[in-house]
Amino acid sequence: MNATAGRKPVHLAVYDTFADWETGHATAHLARAGHEIRTVGPSIDPVTSIGGLRVTPHLALDALRPEDSALLILPGADLWDTGEDLAPFARTARAFLAAGVPVAAICGATAGLAREGLLDDRAHTSAVSFYLAATGYAGGGHYVETDAVTDRGLVTAGPTEPVAFAREVLRLLGVYEGEVLDAWYRLFHDSDAAAYAVLEKAGAR
8 A C-beta contact, residue 13 and residue 40: yes
Task: For domain 10-174, give the CATH number.
Answer: 3.40.50.880
The CA distance from 75 to 200, in Å, is: 30
8 A C-beta contact, residue 170 and residue 176: yes
Residue 174 pLDDT more than 50? yes
Q: Please state, as a whole number, how many other Cβ atoms lie within 10 Å of the Cβ of residue 153.
A: 16
The CA distance from 60 to 204, in Å, is: 33
Mean pLDDT for the chain overall: 95
Residue 17 annotated among the catalytic residues of the structure: no
Q: Over the stretch 91-118, which tens digit does the pLDDT of each residue have?
A: 999 999 999 999 999 999 999 999 999 9
The CA distance from 146 to 164, in Å, is: 10
Query: What's the whole-number mean pLDDT along residues 22-35?
Result: 96
Phi, psi of 106 (to 5 degrees): -130, 150
User: Out of 107, 132, 154, 181, which one is annotated catalytic?
Assistant: 107
- Helix, coil or strand: residue 141: helix
Query: What's the whole-number mean pLDDT along residues 145-152?
Result: 98
8 A C-beta contact, residue 60 and residue 40: yes
Confidence of residue 202 (pLDDT cuts 50, 70, 90): confident
Domain assignments of the chain as residue spans, ordered by start: 10-174, 176-205
pLDDT of residue 26: 98
